[in-house]
Amino acid sequence: MRIIEPEAKSIAYLIIIAGLVTSYFGLYILTTLLFVSLLVWLFFCSSKIINPTIPSAIVSPISGVIKKIEKDSNHIEFQIKARFNGRIYAPNDLQNIRISHHHGFYTLSNHSAFGRMFAPKDILEADSIFANNNLRIKIEVMPNLFRFCGLNYANSKSLFLEKIGFLNTGSLSISIYGDNLESFAQEGSYVVGGNSPLVVIKSPDSSLITPDI
């Protein structure tokens, strides 16, 4: 089960008030532009909070298609091409969140090694306790064209991530470091942000802990 909270509306309220004021003074063209910007804000830059409530899985932070999966004994990385969305959710309960912003050059594809090395990106690193295992999670966000919003979060113990960028043509990679990790998703599959399981924990008897969605 996922708990979905209302959209953040503070900026939307300000735009509406400004639109009413300009309408009162007969500035209809400006009013129209303000309400168009309201629609743009609600679609691209508003925040939807989804608290992680799937204790037995690391979920996808964004909706899109998994382009590549890399894994070894204690690490799994998913490279996801964003699809028709610009929202990113926490893959699990996060602690000790650290964020860095890196400038770079836009390329035609950020999935290549060259593109990922030099692309502008926001990087989030955090700790997480998952099925009694201590994990380290790293998320890299790489927009292909322009970055309208920056990576942000409520506080260092946030249970969610707010909307962090215009990613309709961008990509995201999430790396999970820990023991007994098993990929639940497959390359080429479509995942839903905040809901689709990516990683589960393999129990000592080699059985998987099935996510309770």
Residue 165 lies in a domain: yes
| 119 and 174 share one domain | yes
Q: Are 68 and 118 found together in one domain? A: yes
One domain for residues 24 and 122 = no
- Asked whether residue 70 falls in the same domain as residue 17, the answer is no
Q: Is residue 30 located within the same domain as residue 115?
A: no
Euclidean distance between CA atoms 101 and 122, whole angstroms: 5
Residue 103 shares a structural domain with residue 70: yes
Residue 209 resides in a domain? no
Structural domain includes residue 211: no
Is the domain of 77 the same as that of 131?
yes
Q: Is the same domain home to 193 and 144?
A: yes
**Whether residue 41 sits in one domain with residue 70:** no
pTM score of the predicted model: 0.68
Residue found by looking up tokens 């946030």 in the block: 158
Q: Which tens digit of pLDDT belongs to each residue from 116-159?
A: 677 777 888 989 888 788 999 999 887 655 554 556 665 554 44
Domain contains 212: no
| Residues shown for the chain | 213
- pLDDT tens digits, one per residue of 64-98: 899 999 999 899 999 998 876 556 777 887 888 88
